[in-house]
Chains A and B, each alone.
Chain A
Amino acid sequence: MYIDPHIHMVSRTTDDYQRMALAGCVAITEPAFWAGYDRSSPQGFHDYFRQLTDTEPKRAAQYGIRHHTWLCINPKEAEDPVFAREVIALIPNFLACESVLGIGEIGLNKNSRNELEILEAHLDLAAKHNLMVLVHTPHLEDKLKGTRLIMDAIRNQGRLDPGRVLIDHVEEHTVGMVLERGFWAGMTLYPDTKCTPQRAVDIFEMHGTERLWINSAGDWGQSDPLAVPKAQLEMRARGHCESNIRKVSFENPLAFLSQSGRFKIS
């Protein structure tokens, strides 16, 4: 049994839901993200938020998987702050929906001033509505700097409990600083960028299993919706006990997400 706490099912087929269910997936959370192209209007986001809050939960339920979501405008589309603020203004209309856990995945992409301004606007929205936050950290050479800027922005904002914020896509050079500052940390299992299952298990061995989870972040790019059960296999093959495997792939996401008061497993 497992939870995949970060996966973009709008980009995956119904067959993937079936394969995930067969592999033991009981619940997922889907953050709002970049579609691979910039949307031309806030209305495009309105339709996307309807897909996340209405269509996907029904598709997941067919396979006994409970679907939840996080809403935002992602940092890749945040370079135009006027446009981004129009999208942020739509989010409160969806907050009454029971499957919305919070704001995400917000963060930075190229670590620009405009991205930072929109990150701060999202953090204010989360604080105002007492919502949890799922953070995307930048890719590759931008990750270290972006992780620091994001953690500073959250600290400076001052109204968000780090224990209700998960900073995702950590790797060996960022996991320590994220955990030290009281945040939860997510490891994303990707074939080429981010972590492999082998490296994720190394990180568990070096940093322990507290406040850490794993996810597939499966999307429209090269990614694997079965990455979490594959990491479970890797842990088993390396001699980890069943209770530790269950902790990182089920109990930790359950503990973090339950703080929303809205997270349910089937």
Chain B
Amino acid sequence: MASAPVLLSKRALIDRSYLEHRARLLDVASFLDRVERAGGEGADDFRMRAFHACCALLIDGKPDRTQRILELLSDHTREPIAHAHTKSATGAVPPTSAGAR
């Protein structure tokens, strides 16, 4: 694979992008806080369960986090479905789908 190396050093990448990603990390944290503070339905929303599982992958110390998160959020069934009842995707595998992991 790796035919073009990462050209910038660790320090250069951190210097360039740390603040941007610090802000995104705070966005994620405040989103979790906001959902937790809110009332109404959704305490067991399948998307948020998947989101929490993805957060765990961020800190497991293993490589290819992006690919593993995308795979965690993917339908892993192999057969076409009988009918498309909607045009849209939700960003996580709905619990009714056989592809939920």
Q: Name the residue among B5, B64, B84 with the largest chain A CB count within 10 angstroms.
A: B84
Chain A residues near B67: list those with CB within 8 A. 172-173
Main SS of the interface on chain B? loop
With both chains docked as a complex, state the minimum distance between the C-beta of A203 and any C-beta of chain B, in angstroms.
9
Main SS of the interface on chain A? helix
- Tell which of A139, A143, A205, A238 touches B2, judged by Cβ atoms closer than 8 Å: A205
Check B84 against A138 for contact (C-beta < 8 Å): no
With both chains docked as a complex, state the minimum distance between the C-beta of A25 and any C-beta of chain B, in angstroms.
24
Rounded to whole angstroms, the CA-CA distance of A140 and B74 in the bound complex is: 7
- Tell which of B1, B2, B87, B90 touches A141, judged by Cβ atoms closer than 8 Å: B90
**Please, which residue of chain A has its CB at the minimum distance from the CB of B85?**
A110
With both chains docked as a complex, state the minimum distance between the C-beta of A37 and any C-beta of chain B, in angstroms.
10
Q: Does B86 contact A (CB under 8 A)?
A: yes
Check B7 against A239 for contact (C-beta < 8 Å): yes
**Count of chain B residues with a beta carbon within 8 Å of a chain A beta carbon:** 36
CB under 8 Å from chain A, chain B span 42-94: 64, 66-67, 70-71, 73-78, 80-93
Rounded to whole angstroms, the CA-CA distance of A115 and B70 in the bound complex is: 23
Given A79-B84, A113-B80, A149-B80, the answer on whether A141 and B5 have CB atoms closer than 8 Å is: no
Given A142-B75, A207-B1, the answer on whether A237 and B16 have CB atoms closer than 8 Å is: yes
Chain B residues near A204: list those with CB within 8 A. 4
**Count of chain A residues with a beta carbon within 8 Å of a chain B beta carbon:** 40
Q: Does A11 contact B (CB under 8 A)?
A: no
Q: Does A130 contact B (CB under 8 A)?
A: no
Check A112 against B2 for contact (C-beta < 8 Å): no
Binary per-residue interface labels of chain A (78-113) against chain B in the complex, 1 for a CB within 8 Å, 0 otherwise: 010000000000000000000000000000011111
Check B84 against A244 for contact (C-beta < 8 Å): no
**Please, which residue of chain A has its CB at the minimum distance from the CB of B7?**
A239
- Tell which of A111, A176, A205, A240 touches B80, judged by Cβ atoms closer than 8 Å: A111
Check A145 against B82 for contact (C-beta < 8 Å): no
Given A142-B75, A145-B74, A172-B66, the answer on whether A109 and B4 have CB atoms closer than 8 Å is: no
Rounded to whole angstroms, the CA-CA distance of A206 and B64 in the bound complex is: 11
Instruction: List 5 additional A-B contacts (Cβ < 8 Å) besides A110-B86, A207-B1, A239-B7.
Output: A114-B84, A140-B91, A141-B74, A172-B70, A173-B67
